[in-house]
Amino acid sequence: DRAGFFETVKQVAATEVPAPKASPFRFEFSAEAADHNTTILERYDFDLAKVIDDSPGSHNSYGSELRPPWQLEPLLRHHPSWQEFHDDMVYGIQYPFEKQIDEETRQSQLKANMDRGNHKSALKEDERQHVTKLMRTDVENGYAVPITAEGVRRLKDAEVYPVQRTHPTTHQQTAKFLAAKAHSASGFANEAETPTQLT
């Protein structure tokens, strides 16, 4: 009932959230941090999952951006997707891929993409500052772990996709064209400056 729901919300909001423990990684946009983080990964056979499992309660733990599942359960347990959400918080999100690639293909694609480098749109001098700012923000907020290029090559199951910078005008022109054809402009949101992959 409504009163019970609001009472549960109040109880959850009043419950203290444990402060995250220190991460073994350094979230700084620097070569020194990349070297440090690569050394950490090397201790775990370049397996990021092992580092995460060995750092419970840190902000690199699965679901660390949310309250602990035991705090959210009284509020969300009746939702039909609660169990899936719970498992994502505890074990990480399992992305369903259309097809799996074999190890030989993965390594070949990794080498080719690293040799090729970023898209030209991200390499132009006037664009590089924007891409760098986005990457720096992701690192400093703890969303991305800087590592060396050699660390990427050795990282278990790693895939690399070049950074690309797109402009709002491109999306607006595409949206106008498709809207005219479909008589509907829904679905075209601000996708202005999103790098496709950080390395």
Distance in angstroms between the alpha carbons of the first and the last residue of the chain = 48
Give the pLDDT confidence score for residue 167 in this predicted structure: 60
Q: Does residue 168 sit within a domain?
A: yes
Give the pLDDT confidence score for residue 197 in this predicted structure: 38
Q: Does residue 61 sit within a domain?
A: no
Give the pLDDT confidence score for residue 7 in this predicted structure: 93
Give the pLDDT confidence score for residue 168 in this predicted structure: 56
Q: Does residue 173 sit within a domain?
A: yes
Q: Find out whether 90 and 69 touch, Cβ atoms under 8 Å.
A: yes
Q: Does residue 67 sit within a domain?
A: no
Q: Does residue 139 sit within a domain?
A: yes
Give the pLDDT confidence score for residue 179 in this predicted structure: 46
Give the pLDDT confidence score for residue 192 in this predicted structure: 38
Arithmetic mean of pLDDT, 183-196:
35
Q: Does residue 165 sit within a domain?
A: yes
Confidence label for 105 from pLDDT (cuts 50, 70 and 90): very high
Give the pLDDT confidence score for residue 189 in this predicted structure: 37
Q: Report the percent of the chain where pLDDT is more than 70.
A: 76
Using one digit for the tens of pLDDT, what is the confidence trace for 20-40?
899 999 999 999 999 999 999
Instruction: Name the domain count of the chain.
Output: 1
Check: pTM over 0.85? Answer yes or no: no
Q: Report the percent of the chain where pLDDT is more than 90.
A: 51
Label residue 193 left, alpha or beta by phi (over 0 means left) and psi (-120 to 50 means alpha): beta
Give the pLDDT confidence score for residue 172 in this predicted structure: 52
DSSP E strands in 2-152: the ranges are none
One DSSP character per residue, 107-142 reads HHHHHHHHHH-S-HHHHSHHHHHHHHHHHHHHHHTT
Query: How many CA within 13 A on the CB side of residue 79?
Result: 12
Using one digit for the tens of pLDDT, what is the confidence trace for 42-70?
999 999 999 999 999 998 899 998 999 99
Confidence label for 113 from pLDDT (cuts 50, 70 and 90): confident
- In a 3-state reduction of DSSP, which class is residue 58? strand
Give the pLDDT confidence score for residue 193 in this predicted structure: 35
Q: Does residue 123 sit within a domain?
A: yes
Confidence label for 199 from pLDDT (cuts 50, 70 and 90): very low
Arithmetic mean of pLDDT, 171-198:
40
Q: Does residue 96 sit within a domain?
A: no
Give the pLDDT confidence score for residue 188 in this predicted structure: 34
Arithmetic mean of pLDDT, 161-172:
61
Residue 37 structural domain: 24-55+101-180
Rounded CA-CA distance 120/163 in Å is 9
